[in-house]
Amino acid sequence: MSHPQQPMAPPQGNIYTALLAGGVVLLVVHTLGRFVYTPLLPYFISDGILTTEQGAAIATWNYLGYLLGALLAVRWHSIPQIRIILPLALLAHSITTLGQTQLEQPAVLGITRCLNGIANGIVFVQAPALILEWLVSRNRAALSGLVYLGVGVGLLLSSILVSTTRDWLEGPARWWPAALASLPLVWWGGRQLVRLDIPNSVHTSTDRSAAGNALLTRASLPLFLSYAGAGLGYILPMTFLPLLASLSLPKGHWLTGGSWLIVALATIPSAWLWNYLGSKLGDLPALRLNFMVQLTGVLAAVFLNGPVGIICCGILVGGTFLGTVLLTQRIGRALQPHQGPRLSAALIALYGLAQIAGPWLTKYWLSRGGTLTEAFSIGAVALAVGLAFSLMTSLPKSG
């Protein structure tokens, strides 16, 4: 008597090599490419090549690029397209990161940061999507969230690279450590990802279902709006926390550089933590708890003066923002089954759109005579709105 064959589980080493490769490319584009700007910004200002307002404007250009990259990933969401576009995006990241080491003019740097952001947006969508489809074909989709551990490790690496070279590099040369660290990591991670073997049936069914289903429905709209609030809410401390420390604390205070180290250390276990809480509490209750913790962190920066507020903000925001991403992606898949990479791209595009508003509103507030501490209130309001919409979200009843 014959029995139907079950899919053969791949060797554990293959699975963790794929997850490591995904984590490595996210580390490169999202931390050494994007968030390394956060601890570098106070030094660029002290070097005299940027003002606070120019720094906020350049951050906005980078986030605009991130949005454009995510929108391109919505268009190029099939596995064959990802295999072509992903290596090109990694190459674009490497070129623009190297280019930043030679640029002092704020306008040219802003354009370069925009191009770097486009590469970041594409890779941040396509690399996890490619790995998820590969894991789905092997019945191991539950492991897909581990790819985001690379972001936490990357934040720690970016903190180390900036703090250890701050006294002997100046101006655009401060980009060199991140640029040199990126090149071998991009080469190795990209090679591993394009070699992943995904059966044609996986991406064929994904493309067919994506073409026939709307992403934005009455059930999913509150989740999308909640995610927009999260994007605006977290981006202010993740862009300006070290600058807030340098402006509000005595010159040379350890939190000018140390605040980013706190964020990095809090981020490293966060993907595992919120994955665990989602499995124990349910993804939707865990997401609501995530919003409350993150909101508390931003409010701490607004209302607790001095080091206590900055430390609390670093721990609570650093320890939650990746959880927002993981939990929202999983809830979205429960609301919109079989949407595949297209769903991930759409959510990240909305997240990116909300992030653009953060630095722009900060720049506007500062130009009107406001303080950076007051600008953090914008993030608190956004997270409160995100929490409210998460309470309006409901999952379909099973059975």
Mean pLDDT over the full length of the chain:
86
Q: What is the pLDDT of residue 174?
A: 97
Quick one: tokens of 279?
């499995």
As a whole number, mean pLDDT of residues 6-32 equals 80
Considering only residues 269 and 219, tell me which one the structure prediction assigns the higher pLDDT: 269
Considering only residues 326 and 173, tell me which one the structure prediction assigns the higher pLDDT: 173
Q: What is the pLDDT of residue 219?
A: 76
Q: How confident is the model at residue 13 (pLDDT cuts 50, 70, 90)?
A: low
Most confident region among 19-23, 330-334, 350-354 by mean pLDDT: 19-23
Q: What is the pLDDT of residue 199?
A: 65
Say if residue 46 is exposed, middle or buried (CB neighbours under 10 Å; 0-12, 13-18, 19+).
Answer: middle
Residue length of the chain: 399
Q: What is the pLDDT of residue 26?
A: 95
As a whole number, mean pLDDT of residues 163-174 equals 93
Answer whether 203's CB lies under 8 Å from 133's CB.
yes
As a whole number, mean pLDDT of residues 199-215 equals 53
Indicate if the pLDDT at residue 204 is higher than 60. Answer: no
Q: How confident is the model at residue 138 (pLDDT cuts 50, 70, 90)?
A: confident
As a whole number, mean pLDDT of residues 256-268 equals 89
Q: What is the pLDDT of residue 357?
A: 84
In this structure, the number of other CB atoms found within 10 A of the CB of residue 150 comes to 28
As a whole number, mean pLDDT of residues 164-186 equals 95
pTM for the predicted model, two decimal places? 0.80
As a whole number, mean pLDDT of residues 359-365 equals 85
Considering only residues 354 and 8, tell me which one the structure prediction assigns the higher pLDDT: 354
Q: How confident is the model at residue 367 (pLDDT cuts 50, 70, 90)?
A: confident
